[in-house]
Amino acid sequence: MIKKDKPNLSFWQIWNMSFGFLGIQYGFGLQQANMSPIFRYLGADEASIPGLWLAGPLTGLLLQPIIGAISDRSWSPTWGRRRPFILAGALLGSIAMIMMPNSSAVWMAAGLMWILDAGLNSAMEPFRAFVGDMLNEKQRPLGFAVQSFFVGFGQTLANLMPYILPLLGVSMVLSDEQLSNGIPNSVRYPFYIGGASILLAVFWTMRTTKEYPPENDDYKKAHVFTEEEKKSISFWHLALAVGGAILAFGFAYFSGGLANGLKWGVGVLAGSYLVLMLPVFKEILAPLSSMPTVMRQLWWVKFFTWYGLPLMWQYLSLAVAKYAFLAPDAVSNPKGFEEGTKWGGLCFAMFSVSCAVISFLIPRIAKAVGSNRATHALFMCIGASGFFMTLLSNDKMIYLIGMTIIGLMWGSIMSMPYLMLAAAVPKERMGVYMGIFNGFICVPQFIGMLTVPLFYKTLLGDDPRNALVLAGICMLLAAGSCFLVKESK
């Protein structure tokens, strides 16, 4: 087990133990900014791109709880508890990142995206658990704030690469040797840099951070499930298998009809039921029914947040192109669409900058407000105003200002819910509960991917700006849900 009374760490010790998070988030930033263009360079149909993006939430949903559960019950005198998984994930992610711009077909890029997501998600969950493992309650706000800063800084670097590389003399023009897959240097080189930066950042954390050893050998003992836990395992085993089958049926039905939906639904039901019988999933399913009350209450905060946030990544650049550059698509106004997409990337860069800047101020703001949940609700309302601002004008600066405001909310999303959870989670199950909590991010995304297409052309008027307004409404609902959370003083 982990020591109960943890000493205060210096700022630079906290910085070093989170530094690897910078490389991980740089990788996520590159993925968010470039995977859709890569799929398009390789000839993917635009309508199929949302399905190709399923790798992210699916690998996060499966891997993070598994990594958390396994790492909770492991220890190496040389490598520690979390560090082996961080290192393994970093190695896997860096290899996929270097190979990605050399993809020769859509299927290859899609497969590498699954590997990339597996690596990044495997490394990210232990970093979240690090804060609960290594820091006492007083220092946890600073620990999550440092991680939030690295989220913003890493994604800022990734989003600014199209502007930085030309300053370094990197040609944005497609060369002859690149004609085989059409991916230019402006996309290729950032991925190579990303592969190296992930490893360097993680190696720095490995070299400078030592984990606390267990106080006894309890972590080695096989867990004996109580009758209540056995009931929990049986219930969630069936519930998750059926839930996965329903989602699979929905996606397959809308893409290929009833027969296709039934085939995928039955296949996923049988496959997931068999997979969930593996011993590692018992460690994950058992605590679901006994999860801390705060964690249950935070579900609604996470649900509304992550139902709405994907709309930002999916539709912000399209809204900028349509209204600020008069380019609803790449056919009617190709130059305007290109400029709109580029300006959308700059908006995301400002979004990340404001996240990095606010990160270190959030603990002080929370202290002044006197409540973590009220602080998070405040930032969610601020973010909602950024989404609503897009209705005020068609000027491109409105989108830049709006995304800068939304970035303040992003800083809180990356820290405050985890801070509220860490205070309520049993130390011996910090990893598995952090993994399950990150899974809360994935389920709303699946539901959004299934339901938004049903009303996009009707309720949202086939308009990307209305999708951003819906995201703002979701942020207000998340803010209200914060007050369902019972927090201790």
- Given a cut of 70, whether residue 9 has pLDDT beyond it is yes
Q: Range with the lowest mean pLDDT among 80-84, 307-311, 378-382?
A: 80-84
Please provide residue 135's backbone torsions phi and psi, each rounded to the nearest 5 degrees. Answer: -115, 145
- SS3 label, residue 46: helix
Q: What is the reported pLDDT for 24? A: 87
Q: What is the mean pLDDT of residues 107-112?
A: 83
Higher pLDDT: 66 or 246? It is 246
CA distance 317 to 359: 25
pTM, 2 dp: 0.73
Average pLDDT of 281-307?
Answer: 84
Q: Which amino acid is at 105?
A: A
Residue-wise pLDDT tens digits, 434-475: 777 777 787 888 788 778 878 888 888 888 899 999 999 999
Average pLDDT over residues 353-372: 87
Cα 139 to Cα 22: distance, rounded to the nearest angstrom: 20
> Of 284 and 206, which is predicted with more confidence?
206
pLDDT tens-digit profile of 36-57? 667 766 776 644 555 666 666 6
DSSP annotation string for 299-327 = HHHHHHHHHHHHHHHHHHHHHIIIIISS-
Percent of the residues in the chain that have a pLDDT greater than 70, as a whole number: 86
Q: Is 253 exposed, middle or buried (0-12, 13-18, 19+ CB in 10 A)?
A: middle
Residue type, 488: S
Per-residue pLDDT, 2: 43
User: Which residue carries 């202290």 as its tokens?
Assistant: 367
- Counted residue by residue, the chain has a size of 489
Q: What is the pLDDT of residue 37?
A: 65
Paired with 80 in beta bridges are: 76
Q: Of 79-83, 264-268, 478-482, which gets the smallest average pLDDT?
A: 79-83
**Spatial distance between the Cα atoms of 313 and 32, rounded to a whole number of angstroms:** 8
Cβ pair 267, 248 in contact under 8 A:
yes
Range with the poorest average pLDDT among 124-133, 399-408, 441-450: 124-133
Could you give the CA distance from residue 5 to residue 136 in angstroms, rounded to a whole number? 7
